Structure 1
Amino acid sequence: MNRNIKTSSMTEAAMISGILVLFAYISSFLISLLMFFYPVPAIILAKRRGLKYAVLSLAAADLIIIMLLGVQIGITFVILFSPLAIAISYGICKDEDPNKTIMYGAIAFMVSFVAMILVIQVVMGINFVQQMVEITKESFNMSKEILLKTAGDTNSDKFKETLKYFEETGMAMVTFVSQQFPSMLISASVLTSYINYFAVERFAKRFSIDMRKHEGLSNFSFPNTFILAMAGLLLLSYLLSIFNVNVNVVQMNLFMICYMAMFIQGFAVAKFYLIKWNVNKVGRTLILISIFLMVGFAQVLALVGIVDLVFDIRKIRHKIV
């Protein structure tokens, strides 16, 4: 019986390897966004058959991807997405709290991304951040040229103001990319880990998987110590000035991380009360999208997030593990 179970597990691992290769091929040539869901089949396999089979499946798939698609493409899946899959699989197999599992995945993705940047810089001699800055500059220059061609000989004051605003926005975006890369990386890591956990959760019933469900954004809350941790890091950034570290960049990233965290907290509060007031799903979605897109409302949500973190206005903190 054990031999039959082992054989079926290996067969399923081989099938998942094939699916992973297919994911890599489609995401490389047709749908780029699909690569962010590359870990999902391996995570499902880990929960069904065990972590070691998921690792074997990933290793086999990564090797085939490198042989079929080349080292440059293969390295993305080997370094960036495979550790993410293993980290989330570990958390799910250990039946950890969903937020903790998502944190495992986010940390793995961040470390992997930094490792990939270093590998690219050593092997190809490309500065990843500088490359992003150059791409941002080029995209804005192209947009500016299109704007000028569309305007033709127009030389009105209104057009000059629009052009000036466009140029200022472009400069601000370039500065943001060059200085806020760490906070962007943290946000992208958390989001990537979350969407993979959410996707696995959606497929759980179809594959007879019993896993802990995420409590949902409406019941999500950062721990009480979050603000203290941010304050401690801010204080530490002042001490870094002794070692001639660019403190302004460090502080800007800390403020951005704190702002985004409080925005998420405030957004969770908004969703919580919409559910509490029995607003239907369609209306809830429309209201939340409107709130997200409204100019200046992000600051309001961030403020609401701070208030909720301090006073627990939803009265759910006892539910958070």
Structure 2
Amino acid sequence: MKSQLKGMIEGAILTATYAVLLFLTIYTPIGMISVFILPIPFVVYGKRHGFQPSVWMFVASLGVTFLIAGGVYSLGYTFFFAFIGATMGVLYQKEKSAMQVVLGGFFASLLGILFYILLTSLVMNLNLIQMYQEALNKSVEESNRWLTRLGIPQNPEMEEALRSMAEQIRFMIPSIILGSSMIISFITHWISRIILNRLREPVPQFPPFREWKFPKSFLFYYLMAVILMMFVSAQKEGYLYMVGVNLQPLLQLVMVIQGLSFVAYYFYSKGWGKGAFVIIILLVFLFPPLTFILSLTGILDLGFDLRKRVKSGS
């Protein structure tokens, strides 16, 4: 009985904490920061009390959200972050690995985004994808107007390139949603580890970055995506084009991460400090073409196990 009462009190405190964070996110300028903390009360409660109590906290948070902001927009907001936080918190309680927790958060985030798009479409009659496309087109038109005001003559080729880029981004919305879901899950895990460790609630961490290694099957998927784009890139439309234009950049990112992981492993095997690896990261941001070299390194590492050669040679 005491444990149930304690759980109810803690749930009320964490729901109130969420309410404060939601208010700050919606009504104050610090919302760009506090938005990343919104899932954390649900993570903490899920980690300590499990699935069923988390459901009740989720329901209570919907009621609090309606009182604070009302409207479908805010309720969808709460559903999204509560679903992610509760999912990851319950997975922490079940002592899943860091990768399993992040993948759980990824799928929860993905389902939350899709639910939010469906909710706004059915209830508010808004097509978020179409609105996004219109915003891209308006940004192109606005850029042209600014160039005209500055006395810079319009370049039809540049305008066509910008419109083509906006059109391609429309096809890439699935990969944007997938990438956003993974980023949200990683950030939530990172913040959760900091807070839960301070609360003496240990959670799993990822292995050192130098030990990260994707399955070799990713290399096969990447090569298939490259070959597919060679055949359909000129079409600029159709189902196969949409598949290729979404798969290739995502798998390209996987190869870059694999390449960076190998670089970290190589530096570690040579006894070089972390400073050298940080310099590599900075160079990648300053000179984006270096990502091609890292991608190639990742491909070679997956295909020929470069780490084994480094280990045998050291």
Common fold: TM-score over 0.5: yes
Q: Which residue of 1 aligns with 2:234?
A: none
Contact 1:136–1:173 (CA<8 Å) still a contact in 2?
A: no
* Corresponding letter in the other structure for 1:186: L
Contact 1:262–1:301 (CA<8 Å) still a contact in 2?
A: yes
Q: Which residue of 1 aligns with 2:311?
A: none
Q: Which residue of 1 aligns with 2:256?
A: 263
SS of 1:72 mapped into structure 2:
helix
Measure the CA separation in 2 of the matches of 1:11 and 1:312: 53
The answer as to 2:240 corresponding to 1:247 is: yes
CA apart distance, 1:277: 4.7
Contact 1:66–1:73 (CA<8 Å) still a contact in 2?
A: no
Distance 1:132 1:54, change over 3 A: same
Q: Which residue of 2 aligns with 1:69?
A: 69
Where do residues 179-198 of structure 1 align in structure 2 (5 Å cutoff)? 179-198=171-190
Structure 1, gaps ≥5 residues long: 239-243, 316-321
Distance 1:300 1:234, change over 3 A: closer
Q: Which residue of 2 aligns with 1:7?
A: 5
SS of 2:215 mapped into structure 1:
coil
Where do residues 225-304 of structure 1 align in structure 2 (5 Å cutoff)? 225-228=217-220, 246-277=239-270, 280-281=273-274, 284-304=277-297
* Corresponding letter in the other structure for 1:295: P
Contact 1:62–1:77 (CA<8 Å) still a contact in 2?
A: no
CA apart distance, 1:230: 6.0
* Corresponding letter in the other structure for 1:35: V
Q: Which residue of 2 aligns with 1:116?
A: 116
Where do residues 85-96 of structure 1 align in structure 2 (5 Å cutoff)? 85-96=85-96
Distance 1:94 1:224, change over 3 A: farther
Measure the CA separation in 1 of the matches of 2:75 and 2:305: 44
Contact 1:266–1:303 (CA<8 Å) still a contact in 2?
A: yes
* Corresponding letter in the other structure for 1:202: I
- Which deviates more, 305-314 or 90-99? 305-314
- Which deviates more, 73-82 or 102-111? 73-82
Contact 2:214–2:302 (CA<8 Å) still a contact in 1?
A: yes
Q: Which residue of 2 aligns with 1:28?
A: 26
Q: 1:307 aligns with which of 300, 309, 312?
A: 300
Measure the CA separation in 2 of the matches of 1:56 and 1:305: 45
CA apart distance, 1:205: 2.1
Structure 2, gaps ≥5 residues long: 232-236, 309-314
SS of 2:197 mapped into structure 1:
coil
Q: Which residue of 2 aligns with 1:318?
A: none
CA apart distance, 1:18: 0.8
SS of 1:209 mapped into structure 2:
coil
Distance 1:281 1:23, change over 3 A: farther
Contact 1:51–1:93 (CA<8 Å) still a contact in 2?
A: no
* Corresponding letter in the other structure for 1:311: F
What TM-score, normalized to structure 2? 0.84
CA apart distance, 1:311: 2.8
Contact 1:79–1:115 (CA<8 Å) still a contact in 2?
A: no
Where do residues 124-273 of structure 1 align in structure 2 (5 Å cutoff)? 124-150=124-150, 152=151, 163=155, 166-228=158-220, 246-273=239-266
Contact 1:132–1:177 (CA<8 Å) still a contact in 2?
A: no
Contact 2:17–2:41 (CA<8 Å) still a contact in 1?
A: yes
Contact 2:45–2:86 (CA<8 Å) still a contact in 1?
A: no
Q: Deviations over 1:58-115 (max 9, x none)?
A: 3211221123212233233243222211221232111112112111111111122112
Q: Which residue of 2 aligns with 1:98?
A: 98
- How many residues are matched? 301
Q: Deviations over 1:112-132 (max 9, x none)?
A: 211211121112222221111
* Corresponding letter in the other structure for 2:80: L
* Corresponding letter in the other structure for 1:200: S
Q: Deviations over 1:115-152 (max 9, x none)?
A: 211121112222221111111121232233223222x3
Measure the CA separation in 2 of the matches of 1:25 and 1:219: 41
Measure the CA separation in 2 of the matches of 1:111 and 1:270: 35
Q: Deviations over 1:152-190 (max 9, x none)?
A: 3x55xxxx6xx4565245224312321011111111111
Measure the CA separation in 1 of the matches of 2:224 and 2:104: 22
Where do residues 43-54 of structure 1 align in structure 2 (5 Å cutoff)? 43-54=43-54
CA RMSD of the aligned region, Å?
3.0
Distance 1:227 1:133, change over 3 A: same
Q: Deviations over 1:203-248 (max 9, x none)?
A: 232100122111143322222333345678999999xxxxx96221
